[in-house]
Structure 1
Amino acid sequence: MIIGIGIDLVRIDRLQAIATRWEDRFLARVYTCAERDECFARATPFPALAGRFALKEAMFKALGTGWNSGISWVEVEVFTDGTGKPMIRTSGKVHELLDSKKASTIHVTASHDGDYAIGQVILTKDDCEK
């Protein structure tokens, strides 16, 4: 059963401008060390950073909380599995919210093309859960 859906679209050049202007203050607030390391290991890090940003925003929308409700950006960590598929790992208040909603699976997809990155998150719980 679907319990939450979120989607977000990010202009890559806008995210790059913000990251360039605020440097570590922005990057450390929004991304975990592992996320920054993975993105900056690429020849062009900003499409990957924008995709992760879109997925974090999509996660907050799927939770129904928005990002300004006492949740830290780094409580949603985006990483890739061995095939390059994006995955989400949660901690802190985000993890507690997922537990309270009895979410069993976080479905994630992201893409970037040209000037934009998009991320979508669908939260589901087992049909037998009440």
Structure 2
Amino acid sequence: MDGPRRQLTGPPAGAPVGLGHDLQLVSEVEGASALKEPGVFFTPAELRRIASATSPAESLAGGFSAKEALFKALPAAGETWFWTDAELVHDRHGAPRFHARGPLADHLARHRLRVSVSLSHSGGFVSSVVIVTGGTSADPRLPSTLHTFRRTIRRGIRRVLRRVPAQTAGAPQ
């Protein structure tokens, strides 16, 4: 390879880095008073949202489950994170996402990682899935280079396929 080497500090954009899942029985967290202490497991803003929810017990279980799934999905880093470094928020449509802060936010930014979360409530359970993926490329030219590479491959495949007659398997000739 000619020229200077460039080293990415994170995974390629969109590449999966970690997957976490948690299944939580809502009744198990209903009486857990420690979860309701501000700044221990949830931020004060999270606790306000949980308290005002249609079903506070389901929201509490959902937040707990989502954070469990997040910390299962994050690659081992040798760093200390706190439960409150990951604040579960919702957009105007109700879709959940994490707002990272402190050392966790620094880690995600430094390694160019993105976090996606999905929650599902059914039959007294909450299921959470978190996927951690590579964010953006360290080399701003990489996306256009990758696009050019893919386009070249597609053209080559089309040229080859034009020369190969299509045959349906098992069809009479």
State the TM-score, normalized to the length of structure 1.
0.83
Please tell me whether residue 13 in structure 1 is matched to residue 23 in structure 2: no
Cα distance in 1 for partners of 2:76, 2:25 equals: 23
Q: Which residue of structure 1 aligns with residue 44 of structure 2?
A: 33
Q: State the Cα distance separating 1:120 from its structure 2 match.
A: 1.0
Q: Which residue of structure 1 aligns with residue 93 of structure 2?
A: 83
Structure-2 change in CA distance of 1:24 and 1:101 (3 Å): same
Please tell me whether residue 113 in structure 1 is matched to residue 137 in structure 2: no
Please tell me whether residue 44 in structure 1 is matched to residue 55 in structure 2: yes
Q: Which structure features the higher share of helix residues?
A: 1
Q: Is the 8 A contact 2:36 2:47 kept in 1?
A: no
Which has the larger Rg?
A: 2
Q: State the Cα distance separating 1:126 from its structure 2 match.
A: 4.2
Q: State the Cα distance separating 1:23 from its structure 2 match.
A: 6.6
Cα distance in 1 for partners of 2:69, 2:31 equals: 21
Q: State the Cα distance separating 1:77 from its structure 2 match.
A: 0.4
Aligned with 2:40: secondary structure? helix
Name the structure, 1 or 2, with higher relative contact order (CA <8 Å, separation 6+).
1
Specify every segment of 5 or more residues in structure 1 that has no aligned partner in the other structure, as ranges. none
| Counterpart AA for 1:84 | G
Q: Which residue of structure 1 aligns with residue 171 of structure 2?
A: none
Q: Which residue of structure 2 aligns with residue 60 of structure 1?
A: 71
Q: Which runs of 4+ in 1 moved over 6 A?
A: none
57-66 or 83-92: bigger deviation = 57-66
Question: Percent of aligned positions with the same letter in both sequences?
Answer: 27
Q: How big is each residue's C-alpha offset from its partner over 1:17-55, in whole Å with a ceiling of 9 and x where there is no partner?
A: 213xx4743x54111111111111123201011111111
Q: State the Cα distance separating 1:70 from its structure 2 match.
A: 2.7
Please tell me whether residue 93 in structure 1 is matched to residue 129 in structure 2: no
Aligned with 1:29: secondary structure? coil
Cα distance in 1 for partners of 2:91, 2:85 equals: 18
Q: Which residue of structure 1 aligns with residue 81 of structure 2?
A: 71
Q: How big is each residue's C-alpha offset from its partner over 1:51-99, in whole Å with a ceiling of 9 and x where there is no partner?
A: 1111111111111349xx6321110000110001001100112112212
Q: Is the 8 A contact 1:51 1:118 kept in 2?
A: yes
Q: State the Cα distance separating 1:106 from its structure 2 match.
A: 1.6
